[in-house]
Amino acid sequence: MSLQQQEEKSYDPLDTTLVFVKRKDDLDPVCSDDEESLRAEMSCGHAVTPESLTLWCRSQLDEGIYKFTCPAIVEGVTKCNKPWSYQEVRRLAVLSVDEMQYFEETIARLAAAQYYEIQPCPQCETCVERNDLSNLCVQCTICTADQNKAYQFCWQCMKQWKGAGPRSDRCDNDGCINKDLQLLQMCKNISLPQVEGVTSCPSVRACPTCGMKVEHNQQYCKNINCPRCHVEFCFVCLKLKRECNQTSSPYKICPSGVAPRQTSIPVWKRK
């Protein structure tokens, strides 16, 4: 989504709670130095407009990242990375009521997903937590109590459980497939323009630590910070960053080359 597609926003020049600056938008390197467009200073010292701040934070939510940090470049390719609170973002992005609702609901969902596996029961729609991440057979305590017998459903196809359990791959319902695994097998290939030698790599990977689906934005180096477990890994060879860095530069292809498409999804062994 481009800046032009965003609803036009502007700051109130009489708002004394904001610090206005006369310099370019640090989140939009191709912006003009139009003096008529007010820029405000974030707590980290970088200048933004409501449009650029909304666009950046929305893109972070779309990637599963709910803790906002400043992406402005300070030295070469080094990012500022100073944290921004949601309250600061809400104010300086001039979020509308609909945007606030989307931001707050998405932040809450992503925060919960970081620590818990939660889905609504397909029968009663009560939120159910899956404690054993290697077992797709989950019991709903509400339905079990209401029916006076165990009610189990499949975490994958979201239908009443069919067949023997526990199982980690599928239940016996027709069409029960792991869509995440299917995506890993069928996603398009991409290049990493800033990583020497990486011209064809799967566009989606499963984090080798927690199994969360992660996409590379084709910018900067080959290392990715998983938004769920916060462990950095190499998108190319799938080794942890600290291991990959022992034999390779972040901007060069790994000695082992591009790891093949993943055929299984790692299970997060939370401490």
Least Cα distance to 11 among 43, 45, 49, 46 occurs for: 49
Distance in angstroms (rounded) separating the CA atoms of residues 189 and 21: 42
Q: Quick one: average pLDDT of 147-157?
A: 96
Q: Which residues contact 137 (CB under 8 A, 6 or more apart)?
A: 152, 154, 155, 161, 165, 166, 167, 171
| 52, pLDDT greater than 70 | yes
Least confident of 71-80, 121-130, 185-194: 71-80
pLDDT confidence of residue 187: 95
- Residue 2: pLDDT band by 50, 70, 90 thresholds? very low
pLDDT confidence of residue 5: 46
Distance in angstroms (rounded) separating the CA atoms of residues 135 and 195: 38
Distance in angstroms (rounded) separating the CA atoms of residues 242 and 72: 25
- Report pLDDT digits (tens) over 206-247: 999 999 899 998 988 999 999 888 899 999 999 999 999 999
Q: Quick one: average pLDDT of 93-121?
A: 89
Please report, for residues 1, 95, 99, 154, 213, the alpha-carbon distance to residue 171 in angstroms, rounded to integers and kept in the order given.
39, 44, 39, 7, 22
| 29, pLDDT greater than 80 | no
Distance in angstroms (rounded) separating the CA atoms of residues 77 and 79: 6
- Report pLDDT digits (tens) over 58-103: 989 987 889 999 999 888 778 899 999 999 999 999 999 999 999 9
pTM of the model: 0.56
Q: What are 41's strand-pairing partners?
A: 47
Instruction: Check: CB of residue 211 under 8 Å from CB of residue 181.
Output: no
**Phi/psi at 106 (5° precision):** -70, -40
**Cα angle 203, 211, 151; round to 5:** 125
